[in-house]
A and B are shown apart, each in its own frame.
Chain A
Amino acid sequence: MMHNVCSPVLQSKGESLQQQEASLEPASRLQGLRDRDTVTRFDREVSIYVKLTNLRLELRWKSFMYKLISIIHLPSYTLKIQVGKGLPNAEEAYNFFTFNFEPDPPDESERSSVKRQKQRKIADRDEGRGDEAEEQEEAEDLFVIDQSPQDFLEVKKAVYVGYQNLIQRENEQLFTPSFRTVPTSVKLPENMKPRYLEDEGLYVGERPHVSLTNENILENRILKMEEGKKWFGDDGRIMALPDPIKESSTRPPLFHMEEDVDPSLQTVYRKVRHTRCHSDPEGDYQLDVDVSGLIFSHHPLFSREHVLGARLAQLYDQYLTRQHNNLTGHLTDKVNPTRQLSVHGKIHGGQSLTQAMTTRQLRDSEQEKDRTLLKNIVKVWKELKALREFQKFSNTPYKLYLRRENVDRASDEREHEDEILAEVVEFEAESEEDYQKKLTEYNKQLEEWKLWRRKQVPTYLLAQEASESEGPIEEGPPKPEPPERPDFDSIEQQVREKASRIRRKPGEAILIPELSASGNITASELCPRPEIARRQDVARRSLFIKILYNDKEVSRTDSRSLNTDFRVHFGQIFNLKIVHCPQSINLQVFEEIGSSCSLLARVFVPVPEPSVVTGNVPVEEYEFSSNQRVMFDHEGVGSDVPLSFEADGSNKQTLLTSGKLSCCVSWGIGEDDVPLAPPVSQQPGGIHSGLDRLDAVTYIGASGLYDMKKIGEWATQSRLDPNDPKNASIMQLLKVASSGEVTAPEYFRLEHLQEEFNFVTDEELERSKRFRLLRLRNREVAEFRNYKCVPALEREVTDKVFQEYEKRLKEGEIIDTKEHLDSHRALVAKYLQKIRESVINRFLLAKHHYVLSDLVIEEEIPSIGILGLNLFKLAEPKRPLKPQRKERKKVTAQNLSDGDIKLLINIIRAFDIPIRRPQSNKPGQVQVRPFVEVSFQRTVLQTTTADGPNPCWNEELQLPFSAPNGDYSNASLQSVKDEVFINMFDEVNDKDRGKSIHTWVEKHWLGSVKIPFSTIYSQSRIDGTFKVNTPAVLLGYSKERSHGANGGYDIMRSLSEGTFITLFITMEPQLVPGETIREKVSHFDSQEDEHLLQASERFEREAAQGYPDRPCITTVIDLNGKTVFITRFIRPLNPPQEFLDAFPNNPQEATALVARFVSLIPSLPDRVSFSGACDLWSTCDQFLTLLAGDEEEHAVLLCNYFLSMDKKAWLIIGTAIPEGPTTYVLTYEQSRYLIWNPSSGQYYGQYDTFCPLQTIGCLVNADNVWFNVQEYTTPMRLSFDITKANLWKPFFSRSFSHPGLSSVQPEELVYRRTDKAAAAELQDRIEKILKEKVMEWRPRHPTRWNRYCTTTLKQFLPKLEMSRGQDVTEGHRHDLKRISGFPLHLPFCEIRPIIEAVYSTGVHSVQVSNVEFALAVYVHPYPNNVLSVWVYLASLVRT
């Protein structure tokens, strides 16, 4: 439609553009434009006007093309335009390409010419369509008239076409298929009735569903097409294949997810196919394939003469074989004695006669065949000769000689006559006999008939009457005909006729054909051209044979050229060394023409029997043929092409390429004449052939044909067409057979070969101790993690190996009451163990997650400043006077071994050591002689003894460190639970008393500090002043108070009471502390809002960037491993009511009691228990149930108690010594801030020098988290005014308000009353165990117990508890004896720490002979099974 409205100017421009393009690529363009032209020309809808314009343009185009073509000398161009001007000159050409054809106003003449054109055109159109010739004419006309550019263009106003016209034209062009049903008659060829195959009982599948409308539209559309009817089937519907989509899914739904798998789904174990022939892999087999040659019986390049020649040769071969077998002679010999026998012994009669007859018949047919063969040979030879004569050359060397063997005419005739006579006699005898037989038969029948007749007679009349009414009477046996007598004359006639047909005439010479290949082949020069072409073609071809063994090409012969006689000789023997069982041996004949080769034929050679060995097998000929269609334009007859030798072209034959391949396959013979053949049993049976081929008999095996099931299997696998009439019976059979049994559905399996890869069965894997050991080690079970040298043999694995592991496993179930003393604790321990395991499992993956720094040591990117400094350093003096402190090299704990790591403990000084009570008021008496003893992993070192209550040692002690199991990995080091005990003693010796000659030294325990190794490891150094845990009562010692005039220093000290020690602890070499996995595993599950999590992440990140050394925690992981926002943990919770009741008037006391209660809950650093995994926060009720937790839990509980007691309280996230990152509690009361250490119950003022809290990172309460953005971090220099945003950066601010997070804590805590009886029982048991232990520690000395003292101490201990360890009256002294000892106070969790603590005091180590001991244990129960344990161990020396 565009053409209609398009102005011609535009078009011409387009054309000119095209021309310019065309000049660049004339040939292809030419083609394209011509195509276009034709389209335009035959498009009947294009308006005439446009047509004209096109025509003009086309003409211009053609003239140009003509010029162009004449330039490029294309002679075959068919335009008949004669141009006298010759080549366009350069200017013309240039103009042509560059000239802008302006639209010229059309002059009158042209318009008239246009009109004329138009008229003609219309006329043309009326006639039909302008054909090409006419147009050419017009072209010529126009061309002659004018050639100027004006001629080709016409400018005209755009013609308005009315809407109606437009519609009309559109309708002419467009076709809207109707959606009405097309009557069937239209769709079918005329005079045809629709035929419904379904009605005829044929199987018609279900057609895919198409909606009726769509189908109608499609049909209408198709019918519009030419030959549209071919799309319709006989039933008048569009032809369609049956719907290939199955209605239901093939895979049945699985209903047995939980239970055992459906029996039919059980994995079928199928042994893998053995790829080797033999169980013995060394057996080598050799198959010899001898390819000797190839003879074509027909080849496309055969000339006619060759065809005849091949036929002749074939016939001659046949003749020769017949001659060789000499069946005729044999039969003739056989006939004669039989005959004699039959003639002489008539007794045997019939039998020998029939035998003779059959033999004779056989001989006759053989003779006949011989004769026809001979005849045929002669006939073909004649044809050949005729052909040679006709074509005047010969292609084949065949020559047939017929040798005559003259015979003695007389004797031959006689023999012939004899023969005929004998035969005639025989025939006569036979017919006679036959006649006799028939005659007796006849007589018998006749008798019967007569009998019947006689019976019929009496009723005859009646019957006759009846017959009138009842019709014909019942039939009797027909009257038998008497047999004819044999005609002996005719017999003789027949015999003679036959003889003349099948035998040579008597006296005629015996013709013996002899085929020789001695004829001359006409030389190529003398042949006509087609023959020469054929011969050249032959010469170009060559053949080779590929040998395929089990469908794999293993070898190929050399390529041999095709001889003129179409024989190829290869004569190659291939020795195939065989690994796989032979299944097929296939020879492929390839024909090579030039470089391309094509497969002619395949020859399948049977796999030889093992007995067939090389040397004793004749070469066999295997026929092959190919159905390729080949035709030639030369003399070659081709293949699959009808061919006639008759002059009139009748009697056509179609010959296919065929031939014989002579080869032989046999098993090779080894050196010692052993056939290199696999044993028979190894021959592949039909076991797996189901996969490859589906021949029924091979699949089932002949015997299996009776097995219904097997047939069914085969039928389903080979997908028999149930509608194929050939299969009808088998389908019927199967239907009957399968109705009775349930067939297992077939499933697709992914890992059906899995079993093949198991090197032992699962049971064996379970049973074997060795495998168990290996698997446990692989799982990195603690006991076996670094187990060396797993024994190679099962029997060498002793059960002992597993004892420890099994014991541990059992512990999970059976609780060792002796170890725990308390069933509740045991349960808690078990529960903790379970949590630990689950957490460890959770982090197992993360542990194997590496970062680059784990593997590669790389220099940090130096900043410009550092780079400058480094450059500056080059100019530095090598040994500066004031050396800078160098960072120690850090070592990753990987390639370390025992003894590599040392713990360095620098004991610097101590303050306020208790002094001995003056025994007598002697002046200048020694106050105290303290020394420090450090024990770690049972190594004990001590400092020198110093003097006075404020000693200064400044000594470095080196303690070796060995990791458990020699495993120095991060995880292992983090889980080291050993602690460094730093004990302070007073050395007492005799000299002090200045009494006797024999001196003895005694040490009195003054106090201790415990620092867990995990803290040292994670902190890498500990530097500070610690409060020494001094016993509440030190017998014989008192605190020295404000004894010097030290001025202001005293004021500071007086704020806190107790003894302090300054320490510096580190490790050599410095170990890189393992990162907590929290950093690696960034995301845990969380129920928090995504925004909140992101905000908290951002908050923490900003904090870490701005103040890297200030801990900041906003989210924590709870016991379920979920991320929880920290404020959810803070909620006022009620402390046990009895504490509040105890001091109703003294809130201060109550506060202290609550703090004490919290501190009595055993502390269990979870960094240790979860091997550095992460901090897990438990809620207060969980904490009270577990009765174990680290500083966070204590702090949270304490904070919550304080809140419920109407105090202002916050959680402090900070670092302290020695704990490292920890949590404290801050309270604000009486206008001062107090810092509480929740695990000790101690509180410090804000300005306390010895406050262990070093850094405050952030404060937390139920509403918000504030991060410290002040200059300093120590509590002393901080302002705790959290309302100031420039000092404390709040998490929830106006921009991100508190979303109202609910608490994870319970509403209220419920406390259990403590069982006093249980406490008493526990008390007894601890006492008993400790007594045993003390005696055990003193193996060489008798241990006496002073009962009196013990009772005194026992009475004293509850008082201590009441006073919460504060100094009580010191009146409980024994003047009688020199007594040294002290009460130890511990929160109770296990017996082991108590023993350790007692041991570390060293009270037991008194060597004096008259020493007596006193031991008292007191267990004070608090609510919820929180137990406070006091142990008072004293030694008494009688003075």
Chain B
Amino acid sequence: MATSNPSVFLLTVNGQIEGANFPEYDDLYCKYCFVYGHDWAPTTGLEEGITQITRKNSQSSHRLIWNFPLETTFKSTNPSGWPQLVVSVYGPDAFGNDVVRGYGATHVPFTPGQHTRTIPMFVPEPTWRLQKFTGWLLGRRPEYTDPKVVAQGEGREVTRVRSQGFVTVSFHIMTKDMKKMGYDIGPSSPANTASVTSGWSTEEQQ
């Protein structure tokens, strides 16, 4: 295992899809999948998954909780095409039809450690008002041909979307052999990152 000259580096993504915040909707479930470049390959774990349906707390909270674990390890030779997590949330509409409630994507964090990402979600808008109405009536809203579309930039200019809701995902990232292969992903300790992001070249203390 401990080869001195690795030919791939590993990225382990643990974490969970914690929950979502969709103020208007309930009974939602979430699908997730990873989108990655040509040079990436999953070694263990699930690439795709679907959560249970969750309801909001009847008393107070507006949050939907899934706590759906993610555990995937990727191997790769090239940081280009770094994995992205694509989530799409579905749920029944007023007539009980299963419709999409949001698409969203985020890159898996680069740096090892714990990260929490709040992904803003959006849905494609119908082209015409009338379609909006009929879509609502018939329970067939516009959907992406492939949820993975949201992880790519090409061709998005032809769509129009509306934002709704957020999904919160927490990640625990581990990498192996990245530095050995010459990919320095920045300061190792999170304490240093704070000073890097401060924007000032100097810091003062009294």
Residues in chain A within 8 A of chain B (CB atoms): 275, 549-550, 552, 554-555, 572-580, 774, 777, 786-793, 796, 848, 850-852, 854-859, 861-862, 867, 870, 892, 894-895
B181's partner among A774, A792, A856, A892 (CB-CB below 8 A) is A792
A-B contact pairs, 24 of them (CB 8 A): A275-B201, A552-B202, A575-B205, A576-B202, A576-B203, A577-B202, A579-B202, A774-B78, A786-B38, A789-B39, A789-B77, A790-B38, A791-B7, A792-B181, A793-B5, A848-B155, A852-B158, A855-B144, A856-B145, A858-B127, A858-B143, A859-B131, A859-B134, A861-B131
Tell me, yes or no, whether B119 is within 8 Å of chain A by CB.
no
A774 vs B37: C-alpha distance when bound (angstroms):
12
Contacts of B144 in A (CB 8 A): 855-857
Expressed in whole angstroms, the minimum distance between the Cβ of B79 and any Cβ of chain A is 10
In the complex, per-residue mask of B59-86: 1 if CB is within 8 Å of any chain A CB, else 0: 0000000000000000011101000000
Contact A787 B202, beta carbon cutoff 8 Å: no
Q: Which of B84-116 contact A (CB under 8 A)?
A: none
B7's partner among A576, A792, A861, A862 (CB-CB below 8 A) is A792
Q: A580-B202, A850-B158, A852-B127 are in contact. Are A857 and B145 (CB under 8 A)?
A: yes
Tell me, yes or no, whether B176 is within 8 Å of chain A by CB.
no
Smallest CB-CB separation from A850: which chain B residue?
B155
Tell me, yes or no, whether B140 is within 8 Å of chain A by CB.
yes
Smallest CB-CB separation from A579: which chain B residue?
B201
Contact A580 B78, beta carbon cutoff 8 Å: no
Q: A788-B41, A790-B39 are in contact. Are A855 and B202 (CB under 8 A)?
A: no
In the complex, per-residue mask of B38-62: 1 if CB is within 8 Å of any chain A CB, else 0: 1111000000000000000000000
Q: A857-B144, A858-B142 are in contact. Are A787 and B204 (CB under 8 A)?
A: no
Contacts of B126 in A (CB 8 A): 858
Q: A575-B204, A852-B159 are in contact. Are A791 and B77 (CB under 8 A)?
A: yes
Q: A855-B149, A857-B145 are in contact. Are A792 and B41 (CB under 8 A)?
A: no
A-B pairs, top 7 by smallest CB distance, nearest first, are A850-B155, A792-B77, A858-B142, A577-B203, A579-B201, A555-B204, A856-B124
Contact B205 A856, beta carbon cutoff 8 Å: no
Expressed in whole angstroms, the minimum distance between the Cβ of B76 and any Cβ of chain A is 8
Q: A579-B202, A852-B159 are in contact. List 14 more A-B contacts (CB 8 A).
A: A574-B206, A579-B201, A789-B38, A789-B77, A792-B78, A848-B155, A850-B157, A850-B158, A855-B159, A856-B145, A857-B144, A857-B145, A858-B135, A858-B142
Contacts of A850 in B (CB 8 A): 154-155, 157-158
Contact A857 B143, beta carbon cutoff 8 Å: yes
Contact B9 A792, beta carbon cutoff 8 Å: yes
Expressed in whole angstroms, the minimum distance between the Cβ of A1024 and any Cβ of chain B is 32
Tell me, yes or no, whether B179 is within 8 Å of chain A by CB.
no
Contact B204 A788, beta carbon cutoff 8 Å: no
Smallest CB-CB separation from A793: which chain B residue?
B7
Q: A578-B202, A579-B202 are in contact. Are A789 and B143 (CB under 8 A)?
A: no
Tell me, yes or no, whether B8 is within 8 Å of chain A by CB.
yes
Contact B159 A576, beta carbon cutoff 8 Å: no
Residues in chain B within 8 A of chain A (CB atoms): 5, 7-9, 38-41, 76-78, 80, 124, 126-128, 130-131, 134-135, 138, 140, 142-146, 148-149, 154-159, 181, 200-206
Expressed in whole angstroms, the minimum distance between the Cβ of A1052 and any Cβ of chain B is 47
Contacts of B41 in A (CB 8 A): 788-789
A1428 vs B127: C-alpha distance when bound (angstroms):
57
Q: A577-B202, A577-B204 are in contact. Are A790 and B142 (CB under 8 A)?
A: no
Smallest CB-CB separation from B131: which chain A residue?
A861
Contacts of A554 in B (CB 8 A): 200, 202, 204
Highest count of chain A CB atoms <10 Å: which of B126, B155, B202:
B202
Contacts of B202 in A (CB 8 A): 549, 552, 554, 576-580
Expressed in whole angstroms, the minimum distance between the Cβ of B40 and any Cβ of chain A is 8
Expressed in whole angstroms, the minimum distance between the Cβ of A782 and any Cβ of chain B is 15
Contact A861 B154, beta carbon cutoff 8 Å: no
Contact A861 B158, beta carbon cutoff 8 Å: no
Contact B154 A848, beta carbon cutoff 8 Å: yes
Contacts of A790 in B (CB 8 A): 38-39, 77-78
Contact B142 A856, beta carbon cutoff 8 Å: yes
Contact B155 A855, beta carbon cutoff 8 Å: yes
Contacts of A855 in B (CB 8 A): 124, 144-145, 149, 155-156, 158-159
Contact A787 B201, beta carbon cutoff 8 Å: no
Contacts of A895 in B (CB 8 A): 146, 148
A859's partner among B138, B157, B159, B206 (CB-CB below 8 A) is B138
Expressed in whole angstroms, the minimum distance between the Cβ of A79 and any Cβ of chain B is 65
Contacts of A580 in B (CB 8 A): 201-202
A792 vs B193: C-alpha distance when bound (angstroms):
27
Q: A789-B38, A895-B146 are in contact. Are A861 and B204 (CB under 8 A)?
A: no
Q: A789-B38, A852-B127, A854-B155 are in contact. Are A574 and B204 (CB under 8 A)?
A: yes
Q: A577-B203, A788-B39, A792-B77 are in contact. Are A861 and B134 (CB under 8 A)?
A: yes
Contacts of A862 in B (CB 8 A): 134
Contacts of A852 in B (CB 8 A): 127, 158-159
Contacts of B77 in A (CB 8 A): 789-792
Contacts of A549 in B (CB 8 A): 202
Smallest CB-CB separation from A862: which chain B residue?
B134
A1148 vs B109: C-alpha distance when bound (angstroms):
78
Expressed in whole angstroms, the minimum distance between the Cβ of B141 and any Cβ of chain A is 8
Expressed in whole angstroms, the minimum distance between the Cβ of B4 and any Cβ of chain A is 13
Contact B204 A576, beta carbon cutoff 8 Å: yes
A850 vs B156: C-alpha distance when bound (angstroms):
8
B205's partner among A577, A578, A789, A857 (CB-CB below 8 A) is A577
A850 vs B158: C-alpha distance when bound (angstroms):
7
Contacts of B142 in A (CB 8 A): 856-859
Contacts of A573 in B (CB 8 A): 206
A549 vs B134: C-alpha distance when bound (angstroms):
64
A793 vs B177: C-alpha distance when bound (angstroms):
13
Q: A856-B145, A895-B146 are in contact. Are A792 and B8 (CB under 8 A)?
A: yes
Contacts of A791 in B (CB 8 A): 7, 77
Smallest CB-CB separation from A860: which chain B residue?
B131
A851 vs B159: C-alpha distance when bound (angstroms):
9
A861's partner among B130, B143, B200 (CB-CB below 8 A) is B130
Contact B145 A854, beta carbon cutoff 8 Å: yes
A792 vs B154: C-alpha distance when bound (angstroms):
26
Contact A796 B7, beta carbon cutoff 8 Å: yes
Expressed in whole angstroms, the minimum distance between the Cβ of B185 and any Cβ of chain A is 15
A579 vs B195: C-alpha distance when bound (angstroms):
11
A555 vs B206: C-alpha distance when bound (angstroms):
10
Contacts of A777 in B (CB 8 A): 38
A1308 vs B197: C-alpha distance when bound (angstroms):
77
A599 vs B128: C-alpha distance when bound (angstroms):
61
Smallest CB-CB separation from A854: which chain B residue?
B155
Contacts of A851 in B (CB 8 A): 158
A576 vs B205: C-alpha distance when bound (angstroms):
7
Expressed in whole angstroms, the minimum distance between the Cβ of A1159 and any Cβ of chain B is 43
Smallest CB-CB separation from A867: which chain B residue?
B134
A46 vs B134: C-alpha distance when bound (angstroms):
79
Contacts of B149 in A (CB 8 A): 855
Expressed in whole angstroms, the minimum distance between the Cβ of B16 and any Cβ of chain A is 26
Contact B38 A788, beta carbon cutoff 8 Å: yes
Smallest CB-CB separation from A577: which chain B residue?
B203
Contact A858 B8, beta carbon cutoff 8 Å: no
Contacts of A788 in B (CB 8 A): 38-39, 41
Expressed in whole angstroms, the minimum distance between the Cβ of B90 and any Cβ of chain A is 14
A201 vs B196: C-alpha distance when bound (angstroms):
61
Contacts of A892 in B (CB 8 A): 145
Expressed in whole angstroms, the minimum distance between the Cβ of A408 and any Cβ of chain B is 59
Contacts of A861 in B (CB 8 A): 128, 130-131, 134
Smallest CB-CB separation from A853: which chain B residue?
B145
A792 vs B3: C-alpha distance when bound (angstroms):
15
Contacts of B39 in A (CB 8 A): 788-790
Expressed in whole angstroms, the minimum distance between the Cβ of B111 and any Cβ of chain A is 16
A1123 vs B149: C-alpha distance when bound (angstroms):
35
Contacts of B204 in A (CB 8 A): 554-555, 574-577
